[in-house]
Structure 1
Amino acid sequence: MCGIVGLFLKDPGLEPRLGALVADMLAVMTDRGPDSAGFAIYGDGRPDQLKLTIRGADLESVAEALGPKITGVVRDTHLVLTLPLVEEASVRAWLATERPDLAVTGSGQRIELYKEVGLPGAVAERFGLAGMSGTHAIGHTRMATESAVTTAGAHPFSTGADQCLVHNGSLSNHRSLRRRLEPQGIDFSTDNDSEVAAGYLTWRLREGASLSQALESSLTDLDGFFTFVVGTENGFAVLRDPIACKPAVMAETDSYVAFGSEYRALVGLPGIEAARVFEPEPARVYAWERN
């Protein structure tokens, strides 16, 4: 099952409304994934700074313990640290030694990544999604059919800087692919096949492929059925497997590009009545970037 939503804004005037629009889209997809939800949102950032989104308990004192150069904002069970880029290694080392109970869910100049167990609308409200602004975001509502309902198993998954992936479907060769990727320095924190898909794209990008090339390669290297929506620092991309058995619909206007597992996730968007609405073709990469 599961539901996916994505919204890429072309019109800067809509950026203050990004979170509110995506929150409504997530809530509409509740019956496709009522047990957990998550989203990645791309907001402000600086090239000399890094954001680390961290999940866990007792978060209030973490930023202070790391020193005056580092600030933190707590949102429910997640903490977003903002730090000088040159401090990343030392901060990660401190977390591994002093707070091994915490998990890093996302990192990059612009990405913030939140996920929790619960109804999608409640998860969005817990993190204040409706009040967030940015240029683009992707989200996921999960119905766990092959694993336990846990926060760690919720989407999105992030295995590279400012990169994340949400997935509707199932991969049959994710175990063998994991064994190929781990010696290449790709680390995994769950048994979820979607995290392996994210790691595969990270590896291909590290090897010099463009995002479109990496997604095209996945059509050969990933065995199963899937719809992927991938977020990057500059935009997002969509890919369905050659069979395309999972539902997907897109809408494009002069102001935005939107993705939903079902059309009803898009009906609340401004100007949707004039949008070009289409079903993404099987085995074809669709990508949009800023600038």
Structure 2
Amino acid sequence: MCGIVGLYLKNPALESQIGELFTPMLIAMTDRGPDSAGFAIYGDEVADDWIKLTLRHPEKNYDWKALAEKIQDELDIGVEWFQNAKVAVFKLHTTDAIAEAYLAENACDVLILSAGQSIEILKEVGLPAQIAETFNLRGMKGSHIIGHTRMATESAVTMEGSHPFSTGMDLCLVHNGSLSNHNRLREELKREGVKFETDNDSEVAAGYLTYRLQQGDTLTEALEYALKDLDGFFTFTIGTRDGFAVVRDPIACKPAVMAETDDYVAMASEYQALTTLPGIENARVWEPEPSTIYIWERSSDDKRG
């Protein structure tokens, strides 16, 4: 049993408040996932010729400044960075391939939690309230955010095994449920070049979507394939640079509820996580249908598969 929450702002005036709005939503899912929690926030975009990486190191006092200076000197590129608790966000004037290859060769003990122009993933072992405080979630700004509270059943309680999972540019996934064919799919995806950091079944789902998108599929098409190829029960919420998506398995085994106003679209595993949102009493509230793809993006209207 896990908890999912997501918030997509249709009203840009609320972007400075997204952390304040989202924090009670995440904490409301504590009973569904008390062992770890995390979130992916989209905002503070870099230009297309830059890459933004969320990095984590096992050592609490790792010298991020030294790493930034080394990258700047050896690659001769622009580097901006800041630290947030145990992670650091690096903005590099280069491509993701060059940045990731450099880290793999020169800082192989640094874990890349996310890569893109907008995304930052922050996650940790512990209660959701503790994690929200650790990363100053209330003070964050952005256009959309998805989060997860975990009750581990498929793998150990570790930071690496917590959600969200990201295996593609500005793409991440959170999952409530269980996949029965993830081991076979993991091996198939590895042969196609998809890399995995954990044995969590949810990371396989994230990797599967990344693979489909790399084949040229749209997000809707990738999720349509997922409904055919991923065996199990699930509610997925997927974050992208432009918005977020929600999809449930063909029998809608895991709970989910959605709410929409002129200002936002929100989803949660339980309605109680939505009750602190402004205007929720006048929102359109519904349960997403089985095998139905819901997508909200800045460049398009609500789409349903």
TM bracket (short chain): over 0.9
Q: Does 1:63 align with 2:68?
A: yes
> Which residue in 2 is equivalent to 1:52?
53
1:48: Cα distance to partner? 2.0
The residue that corresponds to 2:9 in the other structure is: 9
What is the deviation of 1:59? 4.1
What are the superposed Cα offsets for residues 81-105 of structure 1, whole Å, 9 maximum, x if unpaired? 001134x334323322232211100
| Cross-structure match for 2:128 | 120
Q: Which residue of 2 aligns with 1:269?
A: 277
2:258 alignment counterpart: 250
Q: Determine the structure 1 residue equivalent to 2:206.
A: 198
Matched, 1:95 2:95: no
Query: What is the match of residue 86 of structure 2?
Result: 77
1:287 partner SS: strand
Q: How does 1:131-280 map to 2 (within 5 A)?
A: 131-280=139-288
Give, in whole Å, the separation in 2 of the partners of 1:90 and 1:227: 34
Give the deviation of 1:114 after TM superposition.
0.8
Which range moves more in the overlay, 143-152 or 272-281?
143-152
Q: 2:249 touches 2:291 (CA, 8 Å); kept in 1?
A: yes
Change in 2 beyond 3 A, CA 1:229/1:148: same
| CA distance in structure 2 between the aligned counterparts of 1:24 and 1:85, rounded to whole angstroms | 37
Instruction: Report if aligned partners of 1:166, 1:194 keep a CA contact under 8 Å in 2.
Output: yes
> Percent identical across equivalent pairs?
60
TM-score normalized by the length of structure 2: 0.93
> Which string of whole-angstrom CA distances, capped at 9 and with x for unpartnered residues, describes residues 227-261 of structure 1?
00000000100000011111100000000000000
Equivalent position amino acid for 2:192 in 1: Q
Gaps of 5+ in 2: 300-305
Shift of 1:147: 1.8
1:106 Cα deviation from its structure 2 partner = 0.2
- Of residues 267-276 and 69-78 in structure 1, the stretch that sits farther from structure 2 once superposed is 69-78
4+ aligned runs moved over 6 Å, structure 1: none
2:154–2:201 contact (8 Å) kept in structure 1: no
Structure 2 letter corresponding to 1:225:
F
Deviation at 1:278, TM superposition (A): 0.3
Give the unaligned 5+ runs of structure 1.
none
C-alpha distance in structure 1 between counterparts of 2:49 and 2:100, whole Å: 17
1:33 aligns with 33
Aligned residues: 290
Q: Secondary structure of the residue that 1:239 maps to in structure 2? A: strand
Mapped to 2, the partners of 1:173 and 1:93 lie a distance apart of 31
Q: Note if contact 1:59-1:79 (Cα within 8 Å) is conserved in structure 2.
A: no
Instruction: Please tell me the root mean square deviation across aligned C-alpha atoms, in Å.
Output: 1.1
